[in-house]
Amino acid sequence: MILAAGEGRRMRPLTADRPKPLVSIGGRPILDHALGKLKTAGIEHVVINLHYKGALIEDYLADHTPPGMSVAFSREETVLDTGGGIKKALPLLGQDPFFAINGDSFWIDGPSVPALDRMAAAWNPDRMDMLLLLQPVDRMRLTTGIGDYDRAPNGRLTLTPDHRGGFMWTSIRIVKPSVFADTPAGPFSFLEVMDRAETAGRLYGLVHDGDWHHLSTAADVAAVNHHVFGGAGVTSSPSTKA
């Protein structure tokens, strides 16, 4: 699942005329990068939730969905937040564990195995309710790192409320659908579900061996476009079906 319903207010003015997943990184929408990596990992079915300017995403994917991949949309009349949005989409996702990523997720795989394949190999449903991909804060150079978690040698995670942990969560995760049992019917944050998994000792993390950039503001996008892609940026209308 790709979460794409939010307004992206912190990324304005880039999101004034488009949702965050259609903001350009390296001359392509962020969404393209994510779908390409999901396709490489063998993911054939993707669910995307929509609210803010969601029709632009539907129009774009009418011509830009990777071959062999199907996309289903979960439309939200009112924003259900990161937890409620996934819960609403569960009937489209099925009963097996699934990848979930934020619509502004941009990462570069490490030198060997792609990150999603590494996560799939590390996934252990007997021990885990969630597996998060983590970026070491001390390796973040272009965008601001926040120390969300500390990680034990066995991979179990502990939240660091003072943000002094060694790792930032990339928003890329594997999730069991069962973690949404007994959650609210309306809007709620996915962080609440993560906290429950941590309390149960079933929240684990895998350290990313490549680069991940925290795309929160227009300045973050500019930094990545400049330093990673040599200046490529927003170049076309999000509704273009080129």
Span 68-93, pLDDT tens digits? 999 999 999 999 999 999 999 999 99
Q: Report how far Cα 197 is from the mean position of its chain's Cα atoms.
A: 18
- Tokens 């830009």 belong to which residue? 64
Q: What torsion, rounded to 10 degrees, do the Cα atoms 146, 140, 197, 79 define? A: 70
Cα 173 from Cα 1, distance rounded (Å): 10
Domains, the chain, ranges and CATH?
A: 2-7+22-229 (3.90.550.10)
Range scoring the smallest mean pLDDT among 39-53, 94-108, 192-206, 228-242 = 228-242
Q: For 159-208, write each residue's pLDDT tens digit.
A: 998 888 999 999 999 999 999 999 998 999 999 999 999 999 999 999 99
- Render the burial of 36-65: b for 16+ CB within 10 Å, e for the rest: ebbbeeebeebbbbbbbbbebbeebbeebe
Predicted local confidence at residue 240, as pLDDT: 38
The DSSP annotation for 151-173 comes to E-TTSBEEE-TTSBSSEEEEEEE
Predicted local confidence at residue 151, as pLDDT: 96
**What angle (nearest 5°) sits at the alpha carbon of residue 117, between those of residues 116 and 119?**
65
For residue 105, give the 3-state DSSP assignment: coil
Confirm if 138 and 209 have CB atoms less than 8 A apart: no
Confidence of residue 8 (pLDDT cuts 50, 70, 90): confident
The residues pairing with 181 across neighbouring beta strands, listed in sequence order, are: none
Confirm if 23 and 221 have CB atoms less than 8 A apart: yes
User: Does the pLDDT at position 209 exceed 70?
Assistant: yes
For residue 206, give the 3-state DSSP assignment: strand
* pTM for this model (two decimals): 0.90
User: Does the pLDDT at position 145 exceed 90?
Assistant: no
Cα 150 from Cα 118, distance rounded (Å): 20
